[in-house]
Amino acid sequence: MATSDKVAAVEEITRKLRDSNAAVVTSYTGLTVAQLKELRRSLGENAQYRVVKNTLTQIAAKEAGVQLDEHLKGSTAVAFVTGDPVVAAKGLRDFAKNNPALVIKGGVLDGKALSADEIKKLADLESREVLLAKLAGAMKGKQSQAAALFQALPSKFVRTAEALRAKQAEQGGAE
């Protein structure tokens, strides 16, 4: 590879690392071209899977301020994630279950280095949309409880005042 090609490759990888909110490093040895195409489709629209050279990626990671050196050994490909990292992690995990040749080495999420186990834990999370829906449901439930409480106070006051008036009327009629 010519020097200008290497410089361009480093710049592109650096840009992808900076623009991505997550990157997952994998080993792809033993996967066919058809399997790699299937993997790329399983990652969704917000992730790009690219085979990279380790030395160029080390330089790009250093320039991007990301720590990936320990994962850059052997055949390496990186999933650059610009959307929900949970969706991409699930896609990689599920693909690796059916294709043991794909090995998740590690990665980075919002600048923080992740081990392979941490990426698998990330894959076990529910997607951002599901978590937001659960949060909205919980908030709606709390609002309903608060509304019922606020409605109960005046209602209880009215019942207490009515009982007090009835008691006074009863006592006034007995005298």
pLDDT, tens digit, for every residue of 31-49?
A: 889 888 888 888 878 888 8
pLDDT, tens digit, for every residue of 19-34?
A: 888 889 988 888 889 8
pLDDT, tens digit, for every residue of 90-128?
A: 888 888 888 888 888 988 888 888 888 888 888 777 666
Q: Name the phi and psi angles at 116, rounded to 5.
A: -60, -40
Q: Enumerate the domain spans of the chain.
A: 3-125, 127-174
User: For the structural domain made of 3-125, what CATH number should be given?
Assistant: 3.30.70.1730
Amino acid 127: pLDDT: 66
Angstrom distance (rounded) from CA 56 to CA 119: 23
Angstrom distance (rounded) from CA 115 to CA 70: 10
For the four alpha carbons of 164, 170, 172 and 174, in that order, the dihedral sign comes to negative
Between 146 and 48, where is the model more confident? 48
- With tokens 């969704």, the residue in question is 44
**pTM, entire model:** 0.68
